[in-house]
């Protein structure tokens, strides 16, 4: 029922003129804005919405049992139905430490234990008391991991670089392309390098291959015994870690109720804790926890993740938007779009509902973005004048961490002017009034009515950063509930983990017959031939 109403309403909304809507309703901003603790302001007034739209979208959320589903997640119910798992990244940042049960057991004592283990270890690395095999303190920390075991800590390291210790260098190796590890090792000295092997499963080809290369590098220079001082692991797989030769005492565990792309808050954040220290890491957890409470307790009309989620679903499912841009006007957040790409696209890039039936609405859009103002000089052209509807999120801090440099007003001016321009556009009459040559008017006209959210953060601190990431996690959750998809599995990613295995054996052993399609066969043959020629030169 709600879907028929929304589909009808979408036809009306196509005719909305946002510029007029603002002229006719002086309260539009007041009505369509909400804030989190005076720290994060969400202005969603420049969206293709009316009062009626919001009422209907909230009705959709109600009918999808969003409230009950938020509670189910936070209470540890096994909402990841295809993998029969609870989804408890929120427990990792449960700073008021209330008990959370999975299979009748409170998970908090173990979470707190690992946090303390991380605390102790990160302090030792930071103050130089953790020594390498030759008695020297650590100078370089290399996180080896991929996907969820890389993107979160790598993005957060850049986001919180201002708060990072100066005496250590941090590197992130993810790609199985040997260039990634080779270029990193060139910058490091084995005597003073600590490797953190981050892999939930400890079976991921890329990570284990890079870890093996790093291991050989250390063993060659310092001998087998050096492993225990230069390698630690973050994983759920103790046996795998042991088999690799890492002492389980140097292992930081997490649990299957933490999804890879939601694991920044777990021991996967170890490199981040070494970088910013335990206290700031827990401030980040506290910010995320505060957003969790906001999500759980705030009425939906004032609930930031719910608002972002219902509007996101509105565009994807009813207004035909196939993409979505996230545009942080903050250099520290330059990796946020890449991080959100995984969070959003891996979670909601689904076409089957939780029931097993095909979805009836379009689900997660293609997410892209870059730090402002850089994007303005490249892909914004398409957002302003292209044929696609691209909802956007503009994000910026009111205060820069580098105020002293004195450029922040220019950045903010751009940040504020862009959504305004997208919304108002420029009419032919306005161009004529400016004396623009008649022949150029079609090219210089801007349709306007291009929607955006504006997210204004007081300042980037570990706390506000934690809240911002949790905001997006819950936005994605909200959308998943509306679409009734399982946002917590990723069979599409797992396929990739399998596929290359067969081809690899065929590449290595050229006597193996090939049974693929003609294109795949020819590609394998070409690589075989060229590499064989090289071998025999």
For residues 362 and 409, give the distance between their C-alpha atoms in angstroms, rounded to a whole number: 39
Please report whether residue 148 would count as binding ligand G6Q according to CB under 6 A: yes
Cβ neighbours for 470, distance < 8 A, ≥ 6 positions apart: 93, 287, 288, 289, 291, 292, 295, 305
CB under 8 A, 24+ apart: contacts of 214-223: 214/142, 214/144, 214/173, 214/181, 214/185, 215/244, 215/245, 217/185, 217/190, 218/190, 218/193, 221/190, 221/191, 222/132, 222/133, 222/134, 222/190, 222/191, 223/133
Identify which range of 259-267, 292-300, 418-426, 476-484 contacts ligand G6Q by CB under 6 A. Answer: 259-267
How many Cα atoms within 13 Å fall on the side-chain side of residue 186?
Answer: 6
Query: Which residue among the candidates 191, 283, 346, 506 is catalytic per the annotation?
Result: 346
Contact 196, 270 (CB under 8 A): yes
Using CB under 6 A as the binding rule, whether residue 424 contacts ligand G6Q is answered as no
Out of 48, 118, 144, 146, the residue judged to bind ligand G6Q by CB under 6 A: 146
Segment interacting with ligand G6Q (CB under 6 A) among 55-63, 98-106, 140-148, 397-405: 140-148
Residue 537 appears among annotated catalytic residues: no
Q: How far is the CB of 149 from ligand G6Q (least distance, A)?
A: 4
Binding mask 493-512 for ligand G6Q (x = CB under 6 A): x-------------------
Assess 260 for contact with ligand G6Q (CB under 6 A). yes
404 — alpha (psi -120 to 50), left (phi > 0) or beta?
Answer: alpha
- Burial class from Cβ neighbours inside 10 Å (0-12, 13-18, 19+) for residue 268 reads buried
Sequence-ordered list of residues with C-beta below 8 angstroms from that of 126, at least 6 positions apart, any chain: 165, 167, 168, 274, 277
Q: Which stretch binds ligand G6Q (CB under 6 A): 73-81, 97-105, 142-150, 306-314?
A: 142-150
Q: How many residues bind ligand G6Q (CB under 6 A)?
A: 15
Of the pair 202, 315, the CB lying nearest ligand G6Q is at 202
Smallest CA-to-CA distance from 67 within 429, 75, 166, 252 is with 75
Q: Which neighbouring-strand residues pair with 196?
A: 143, 232
- Cis omega before residue 486 (within 30°)? no
Q: Using the rule CB under 6 A, is 479 a contact of ligand G6Q? A: no
Q: How far is the CB of 347 from ligand G6Q (least distance, A)?
A: 8
> Least distance (Å) from ligand G6Q to the CB of residue 500?
13
- CB of residue 205 to ligand G6Q, shortest distance in Å: 9
Of residues 76 and 259, the one with the C-beta less far from ligand G6Q:
259
Is residue 442 helix, strand or coil?
Answer: helix
Q: Is the dihedral of CA 89, 70, 469, 339 positive or negative?
A: positive
Instruction: Provide the minimum distance between the beta carbon of 253 and ligand G6Q in the complex, in angstroms, as a whole number.
Output: 13
147 is an interface residue for ligand G6Q by CB under 6 A: yes
Backbone angles phi, psi at 193, to 5 degrees: -110, 135
DSSP string, 346-358: HHH---B-TTSSB
Residue with the CB atom nearest ligand G6Q in the bound state = 147
Q: Does 490 bind ligand G6Q (CB under 6 A)?
A: yes
> Shortest CA distance to 259 belongs to which of 342, 336, 338?
342
* Interacting span for ligand G6Q (CB under 6 A) from 22-30, 40-48, 217-225, 256-264: 256-264
Quick check: 486 binds ligand G6Q (CB under 6 A)?
Answer: no
| Residue 454 sits in the site that holds ligand G6Q (CB under 6 A) | no
Q: 51-63 vs 462-483: helix axis angle to the nearest 10?
A: 70
Distance CA 210, CA 197 (A): 9
Dig out the tokens for 279 from the structure: 């206290």
Give the residue, chosen from 53, 94, 122, 149, that forms a contact with ligand G6Q under the rule CB under 6 A.
Answer: 149
Residues 352-411 that bind ligand G6Q (CB under 6 A): none
SS3 276: helix
Q: What is the contact mask toward ligand G6Q in residues 332 to 351, using x (rule: CB under 6 A)?
A: --------------x-----
- Residue 225 DSSP one-character state: G
Q: Rule CB under 6 A: which of 153-212 touch ligand G6Q?
A: 199-201, 204, 207
CB of 259 to ligand G6Q, least distance (A): 5
Q: Which of 67, 221, 293, 497 is catalytic?
A: 497
Segment contacting ligand G6Q by CB under 6 A, of 120-128, 146-154, 362-370, 423-431: 146-154
Which one from 377, 388, 516, 530 is the annotated catalytic residue?
A: 377
Q: Indicate the residue among 148 and 451 with the shorter CB distance to ligand G6Q.
A: 148
CB atoms within 10 A of CB 473: 26
Smallest CA-to-CA distance from 137 within 163, 165, 113 is with: 165
Q: Which is nearer to ligand G6Q, 175 or 447 (CB)?
A: 175
| Shortest reach from residue 73's CB to ligand G6Q, in Å | 16
Contact, 53 vs 14, CB < 8 A? no
Among 76, 153, 240, 259, binds ligand G6Q (CB under 6 A): 259
- Told to judge if 516 belongs to the known catalytic residues of this protein, a careful annotator would answer no
Least CB distance from residue 269 to ligand G6Q, whole Å? 13
98 is known as an active-site residue: no
Three-class secondary structure of residue 128 per DSSP: coil
With respect to ligand G6Q, which residue has the nearer C-beta, 122 or 490? Answer: 490
If one asks whether residue 480 binds ligand G6Q (CB under 6 A), the answer comes out as no
Residue 16 and residue 45 in contact, taking contact as beta carbons nearer than 8 Å: no
Q: Which of 215, 261, 384, 450 binds ligand G6Q (CB under 6 A)?
A: 261
CB of 142 to ligand G6Q, least distance (A): 15
Residue 338 Cβ vs ligand G6Q, minimum distance, rounded to whole Å: 12
Q: What residues make contact with ligand G6Q under the rule CB under 6 A? A: 146-149, 199-201, 204, 207, 259-261, 346, 490, 493
Task: Give me the active site residues, please.
Answer: 346, 377, 497
């Amino acid at each position: 029922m709600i879907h028929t109403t929304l589909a009808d309403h979408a036809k009306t909304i196509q005719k909305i003129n946002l510029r007029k809507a603002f002229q006719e309703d002086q309260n539009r901003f007041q009505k369509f804005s909400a804030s989190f603790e005076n720290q994060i302001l969400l202005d969603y007034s420049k969206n293709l919405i009316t009062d009626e739209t919001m009422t209907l979208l909230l009705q959709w959320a109600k009918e999808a049992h969003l409230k009950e589903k938020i509670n189910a997640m936070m209470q540890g119910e096994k909402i990841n139905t295809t993998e029969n798992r609870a989804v408890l990244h929120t427990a990792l940042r449960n700073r008021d430490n209330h008990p959370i049960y999975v299979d009748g057991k409170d998970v908090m004592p173990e979470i707190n234990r690992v946090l303390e283990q991380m605390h102790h270890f990160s302090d030792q690395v930071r103050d130089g008391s953790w020594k390498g095999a030759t008695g020297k303190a650590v100078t370089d920390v290399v996180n080896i991991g991929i996907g969820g075991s890389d993107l979160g800590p790598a993005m957060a390291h850049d986001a919180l670089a201002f708060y990072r210790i100066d005496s250590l260098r941090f590197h992130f190796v993810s790609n199985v392309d040997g260039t990634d590890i080779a270029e990193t090792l060139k910058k490091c000295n084995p005597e003073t390098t600590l490797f953190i092997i981050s892999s939930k499963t400890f079976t991921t080809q890329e990570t284990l291959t890079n870890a093996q290369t790093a291991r050989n590098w250390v063993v060659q220079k310092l001998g087998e015994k050096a492993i225990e001082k230069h390698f630690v692991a973050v994983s759920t797989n103790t046996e795998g870690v042991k088999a690799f030769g890492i002492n389980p005492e140097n292992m930081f565990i997490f649990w299957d109720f933490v999804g890879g792309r939601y694991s920044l808050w777990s021991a996967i954040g170890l490199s981040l804790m070494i970088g910013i220290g335990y206290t700031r890491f827990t401030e980040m957890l506290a910010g995320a926890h505060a957003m969790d409470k906001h999500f759980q307790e705030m009425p939906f009309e004032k609930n930031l993740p719910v608002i972002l989620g219902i509007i996101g679903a509105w565009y994807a499912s009813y207004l035909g938007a196939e993409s979505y841009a996230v545009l942080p006007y903050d250099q520290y957040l330059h990796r946020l779009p890449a991080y959100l790409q995984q969070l959003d696209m891996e979670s909601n890039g689904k076409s089957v509902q939780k029931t097993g039936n095909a979805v009836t609405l379009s689900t997660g859009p293609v997410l892209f973005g870059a730090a402002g103002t850089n994007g303005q000089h490249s892909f914004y052209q398409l957002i302003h004048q292209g044929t696609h509807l691209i909802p956007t999120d503009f994000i910026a801090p009111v205060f820069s961490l580098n105020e002293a440099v004195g450029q922040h007003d220019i950045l903010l001016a751009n940040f504020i002017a862009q959504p305004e321009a997208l919304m108002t556009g420029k009419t032919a009459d306005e161009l004529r009034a400016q004396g623009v040559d008649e022949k150029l008017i079609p090219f210089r006209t801007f349709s306007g009515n291009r929607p955006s959210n504006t997210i204004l953060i007081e300042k980037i601190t570990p706390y506000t950063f934690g809240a911002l990431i949790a905001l997006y996690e819950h936005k994605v959750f909200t959308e998943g509930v509306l679409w009734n998809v399982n946002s917590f599995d990723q069979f599409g990613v797992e396929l990739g983990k399998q596929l290359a295995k067969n081809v690899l054996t065929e590449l290595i052993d050229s006597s193996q017959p090939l049974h693929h399609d003609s294109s795949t066969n020819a590609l394998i043959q070409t690589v075989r031939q060229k590499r064989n020629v090289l071998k025999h030169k």
